[in-house]
Amino acid sequence: MSEDEDAVVAKPRPFWVAGRPETSEETLDVRHPFDGTDVATVSVPTPEHVERAVAAAAGVAKQFRSLPAHRRAAALEHVSQALAERTEEIAETITAENGKPMKWSTAEVGRAVSVFRFAAEEARRHVGELQRLDTDASGEGRLGLIRRRPRGPVLAVAPFNFPLNLVAHKVAPALAVGAPVIVKPASATPLSALLLGEILAETDLPEGAFSVLPVRGSAMAALVEDPRLPVISFTGSTGVGWGIMRSAPGKHVVMELGSNSAAIICPDWTDLDWAASRIATFGNYQAGQSCISVQRVVVHRSLAEEFIPKLVSAVEALKTGDPHDPSVDVGPLIDEGNAERVADWIDEAVGAGAQLLTGGKRTGATVAPTVLSGVPATAKVSCEEVFGPVLVVSVVDTVDEAFEIANSTDYGLQAGVFTRDLQTAFRATAELEVGGVIIGDVPSYRADQMPYGGVKGSGNGREGLRSAMNDFTEEQVMVLSGLEL
């Protein structure tokens, strides 16, 4: 490689201020979680860059909300098509910065393609409703036109575990309703968001409609507190999320936080091989770093003797290793510090009397997929969010007991209930304290257009295109009078 080529490779990636690429003297290095090799160097915005981005978002807000729906939809369609055309490149970027296996990175790109396509469709349908007001005598001759207007520019704070699709779930609905958006990607995984900024810059969105700012520390706090950003959409850890709410009490804050999701195997379920395979896969995909990864497995005693060995075998069949290897199922955690934490929690549970059925070993940032049984309810792997490849198995005598265990947590995102009994299914939706109940499958199922979010410590508000569009807007009523209805 020539010196000129070396210079090109070493050139820091730009960030995006009001739709334009910018650089600065300060940089951060992105490293591959599996082996720590350098992936890229990224420029970090200065306070002056941040101020320009926020001022541009505030300045364009009125113009952008009035932009015709077809232009917003066209921009969103372009993003969807460009992501699809560049799937291989973007999937490689996700794997390089995040460490998830290529098959999961490719799936993530596919989901983001759908998210922007759904957003384009919803942008054309987001028209409001008419309401007759002559249902009482005082309303004769009156008609209400109820429309939704953007609350204002959106600060979108994204996590590392889905560095493209969870950015898409904030950017796409914001642009669909005509709200400027400032993306703050995770410091460990800024590359996918910056690449999305490159694609957005190809559209004819007005200047200021989007910025991508990989800031850290005090700059992040300044964005949270800035009154020109009245909406915050945050996905990440519970502690940070509630801290944001305390820092911005006058803002509309939407949060998708953590969970320790349960999969319940009811006594009527017969296909134990399929259930074991699904739970093994979705307890360990993304190395367990998904808010709706299966963490707790609750199985009826009548099935436990047959089911648990099947689950252990399915987990042991998962291959760990270099995520660029297409045969690898489970890659590393985001960094070695998190892997050490997960290993420590496993050791704590075993020390408290839990039985290690498989896994439990750590190599660098990789933790072998792990199954534990007999875990005390107070152990961290049982009552907190592991965010790692760990399954905790409990055996119960009744469905009532299973539901009690599923609810015995500060979280409430989604739950999976393996049953074909209609009464049990409706009982689950009535009694489980979660935002979503998946019948006949793991809690990890998510369709990107459906309302998605949790209760209790799992946050507030909902993602999913139409739901997020509603969160980013507020109703405005115009009453027309003197009409002949």
| Domains, the chain | 3-257+461-476 (3.40.605.10), 262-447 (3.40.309.10)
On the question of pLDDT at 9 being above 60, the answer is no
CA distance 76 to 48: 29
Out of 22, 97, 122, 291, pick the active-site residue: 291
Whether residue 263 contacts residue 247, with contact meaning beta carbons closer than 8 Å, is answered with: no
Whether residue 55 contacts residue 228, with contact meaning beta carbons closer than 8 Å, is answered with: yes
Give 447's contacts (C-beta < 8 A, 6+ positions apart): none
DSSP string, 270-307: --HHHHHHHHHHHHHGGGG-STTS--EEEEEHHHHHHH
Beta bridge partners of 130: 145
Give the phi and the psi of residue 156 in degrees, each rounded to 5.
-105, 110
> From residue 3, how far is each of 6, 10, 23, 357 by CA, in Å?
5, 11, 22, 54
E-assigned strands of 213-343? 231-235, 252-256, 262-265, 296-300
User: Strand 370-373 relative to strand 355-358: parallel, antiparallel, unpaired?
Assistant: antiparallel
pTM over the 0.85 mark: yes
Active site residue 291: yes
Considering the chain, what percentage of its residues have pLDDT values greater than 90? Answer: 96
Question: What is the number of other CB atoms lying within 10 angstroms of the CB of residue 241?
Answer: 23
**Number of residues assigned to the chain:** 485
- Taking only the tens place, the pLDDT of each residue in 246-277 is 999 999 999 999 999 999 999 999 999 999 99
> From residue 25, how far is each of 46, 52, 214 by CA, in Å?
9, 17, 14
On the question of pLDDT at 4 being above 80, the answer is no
Active site residue 256: yes
CA distance 485 to 290: 53
CA distance 400 to 404: 6
On the question of pLDDT at 3 being above 70, the answer is no
On the question of pLDDT at 192 being above 70, the answer is yes
On the question of pLDDT at 141 being above 90, the answer is yes
How would residue 485 be classed by pLDDT, with cut points 50, 70 and 90?
A: confident
Out of 22, 256, 385, 463, pick the active-site residue: 256
CA distance 82 to 179: 22
How would residue 100 be classed by pLDDT, with cut points 50, 70 and 90?
A: very high
How would residue 35 be classed by pLDDT, with cut points 50, 70 and 90?
A: very high
On the question of pLDDT at 467 being above 80, the answer is yes
Residue 8: the pLDDT is 41
> Across the chain, what does the average pLDDT equal?
96
Beta bridge partners of 30: 40
Considering the chain, what percentage of its residues have pLDDT values greater than 70? Answer: 98
